[in-house]
A and B are shown apart, each in its own frame.
Chain A
Amino acid sequence: MNYSRCLSSRSSDLLVLIAACVILVPIGWIVLAAFKSNVDVFQLKLFFSPTLANFATILDPPYVIHHKLLNSAIVALVVVVVSIPIATLAAYSLSRFKLYGASFMLTAILATQFIPAVTIVLPFFLMFRSIGMLDTLLALILIHTSIVMPYAIWMIKGFIDGIPIETEEAALVDGATRLQVIRNIVLPMAAPGVITASIFSFILSWNEFMFALVLTRRDAITLPVGLALFNAETGVQWHLLAATSLIIMIPMIVLALLIQRHFVQGMTMGAVR
C-alpha cells in the first residue's frame, strides 16, 4: 500500500518535473540568449560573458523597440481601462436583472470568440482601410476591446453571481442607489474577479499578434509584431529577438508576482461558481 502510494507520488513528481522543463527550458533559453552575443547564442553553454549590448541595439533604428513597447503599453492599458468598467456593468446587468434573451446574449457574446481570428482579419483590414484607420492605435484598441470583452464579462459575471443577493438588497433598503450598491458593495466583493479579468485582458491585448500584424504597418506596431523585424535577410537575429522577448515577458512576470494572490483566488472562485 505504502509502496504503491510512494511510487504514485514519485511518478507525479516526475510528470511535474517534465512539464516544468517543457515550459521553463524555452524561457530559460530566451533569458540566456538575451544576454549573449550573436555568436554565443547557438552554443548551449550556461557560462558566458553577459552583455547588455542587445538591449542597446534594439533601441536603435531600425528596431526602436521602445516605440513598440509604448504602443503595446498604451493599447493594453486603454483596453483594460475601457473594457473592464463596461464588462463589469454588463456582467452586473446579466447577473442581476431579468433581461429578455439574457442566456442567448451570454452565449452569443462568447460565441464571437469561437470564430478563428484569421477568418475575420481581412474584413477588418478592409473596413479600417476604408475609414482611414489602418496603422492607428485606435483601431487596435477597438479590436482588442472586442476580443477581451466577452472573457471579461463571463469572468466578472461568475463573481457577481456568487455575491449573495441579500447583501445588495440590504444596501438598497439601507438607502443606497443602484450605482452606490455597485460601487460600495458589488465592486469590493467582486474585486478578485475584476482584477483577474483585468490581468487576463491585459495579457490578451499585450500578446495579440494576428490583428496587430495585419492592421499595423509602421506607426502602431506592437511588440509581438516587432519580433518579426528580426527575421532579416541575413537570417533570424536570435540574440535581438531574445532581448525583445524578454521585454515582452517582463511585464507579465511582474504582474503575476504582484497580484498572484488575487489571480489564484480569482481563477478558483470563478471555477467553482
Chain B
Amino acid sequence: MASIRLENIEKRWGSFTAVQRQSLDVADNEFLVLLGPSGCGKTTTMRMVAGLEQPTAGDIWIGDRRVTHDLPKDRDIAMVFQNYGLYPHMSVADNIGYPLKVRGISRGRREAEIRKAAAKVELTHLLDRRPRELSGGQRQRVALARAIIRTPRAFLMDEPLSNLDAKLRVTMRAELKHLQNELGITTIYVTHDQIEAMTLAHRVAVMNEGVVQQIAPPDQIYDRPANVFVAGFIGSPPMNLIHVKAENDLLVAENARVKMAAAMPAQDLILGVRPEDVSLCAQNEGSMRGSVFASELTGDSVLVTVQVGSQRVLAKQDRSFRIDAGAPVGLRLNENRLHLFDAETKERLP
C-alpha cells in the first residue's frame, strides 16, 4: 500500500501531446478514477504509472520511491487490462500464479496462494480450465485474482468492465468496490463510464485533451463542475448548457429571462442546469418559454426536450408525465441548483 504522485508529468509523441504537463496525487488506500472520453490521455497516464510508457517529462513516485525509469516489474504494482491480458496457453491456476512464479515462489506456497486468491473471486472450481473456456465475467475474475495474489502497492485498472454486458457490469462493479474496501490497496481506475466513476471512486479526475479538468469527490464533481466540459460530461442525461447574457440581476436569452439573487456585470455566460432541476409549467409562469420538441419515456422518467428560441432545454419529469410534441410550455428552474460559466474561458464562476 502506498501513495502515488505524478510530478509535472508529460507525454508527447512527436508533435502530439497525449498528456499535458501536470501533477496528480493519489493518497494511500484511495480509489481514484480517471474519467474522460476516448483519447483524453487517461490510459496513457495510467500506463506511465505502470511503466509501460516512459513520460517525456516529469517524475512518478510510488510511496517514497521514485519509479520514473524503473521497469514495470520493479514497481510492485498489479494491473487489470481492458481485454484482461490473460495467458491463453496457461490454465486459470497458472494464470493466477504467474506473478508468484516469476518471483521464484515455491510450487507448494504458490498453490496455496492461488487457492486463496481464487476463493476471493469465487473461481476455485475453474482452476484447471483454460481462459478460452471461460465467460467474460469469469475471465475478468481471473485477471482480478492474478492482481490480488501478491498484495501489490497499487492496483491499476484499465476499463476492466467495459467488455462485460450491462448486467454483469453492475455485479462486478460492486465486487470491485468490496474488494478494494477489503484489501485497502491504492487504486487508479480508468474508465469512460461515468456511472462506474461515480459509484467506485473516492475521488474522480475528469480528463480532456490530456489535461485533468477537475479532481474531486464524485458528489462535488456532480454538484460543482469546474468548467463547461465537466458539466457537460458528467450526468446522464447531460446538463443543459444555455448561452445567456447577464443584464443586472437577469440572465437573458431568446424567450428566457432568469432572475438571479444578485446583480452581475454585463457579460456573455453559459447557464448550466441539470434536467432534474427543470420542471414544466404554464407558458406564462416560468423563466423560459417554448414548445415541446420531443417527449421520451425512459422507464423511470420522461425526458422532455423543449425548444426555447434557438436553443433546446431538456427537462426530466415524472414517469407518469405525458405531453404532446408542439405543446406550448414554460420552464421553471431550481434557482438553488444553477451553474454559471464564463462563455469565453468556459470556467465556473464562483
How many angstroms between the C-alpha atoms of A170 and B71 in the bound complex? 13
Q: Looking at chain A, what size class is its interface with the partner chain?
A: 10 to 19
Nearest-neighbor residue (CB-CB) of A187 within chain B: B89
Interface of B is mostly: loop
Is A13 an interface residue, CB under 8 A from the partner? no
Is A260 an interface residue, CB under 8 A from the partner? no
Contact A185 B87 (CB under 8 A): yes
- Complex interface residues of chain B between 51 and 77 (CB less than 8 A to chain A): 51-52, 71-73, 75, 77
Is A174 an interface residue, CB under 8 A from the partner? yes
* Set of chain B residues within 8 Å of A171, measured between Cβ atoms: 87, 98, 102
* Set of chain B residues within 8 Å of A184, measured between Cβ atoms: 87, 98, 102
* Set of chain B residues within 8 Å of A167, measured between Cβ atoms: 85-88
Is B103 an interface residue, CB under 8 A from the partner? yes
Nearest-neighbor residue (CB-CB) of B85 within chain A: A170
How many angstroms between the C-alpha atoms of A125 and B292 in the bound complex? 90
B20-54 CB mask vs A (1 if < 8 Å, else 0) is: 00000000000000000000000000000011100
* Set of chain B residues within 8 Å of A175, measured between Cβ atoms: 73, 99, 102-103
Nearest-neighbor residue (CB-CB) of B101 within chain A: A184
Is A169 an interface residue, CB under 8 A from the partner? yes
Is A173 an interface residue, CB under 8 A from the partner? yes
* Set of chain A residues within 8 Å of B78, measured between Cβ atoms: 173-174
A17 to chain B minimum Cβ distance, whole angstroms, is 39
Contact B88 A189 (CB under 8 A): yes
Is A235 an interface residue, CB under 8 A from the partner? no
Contact A172 B72 (CB under 8 A): yes
B155 to chain A minimum Cβ distance, whole angstroms, is 11
Contact B73 A166 (CB under 8 A): no
Is A50 an interface residue, CB under 8 A from the partner? no
Residues of chain B whose beta carbon lies under 8 Å from any beta carbon of chain A: 50-52, 71-73, 75, 77-79, 81-89, 98-99, 102-103, 146, 156
Residues of chain A whose beta carbon lies under 8 Å from any beta carbon of chain B: 164, 166-167, 169-177, 180, 184-185, 188-189
A-B pairs with lowest CB-CB distance, top 4: A170-B85, A174-B99, A166-B85, A172-B72
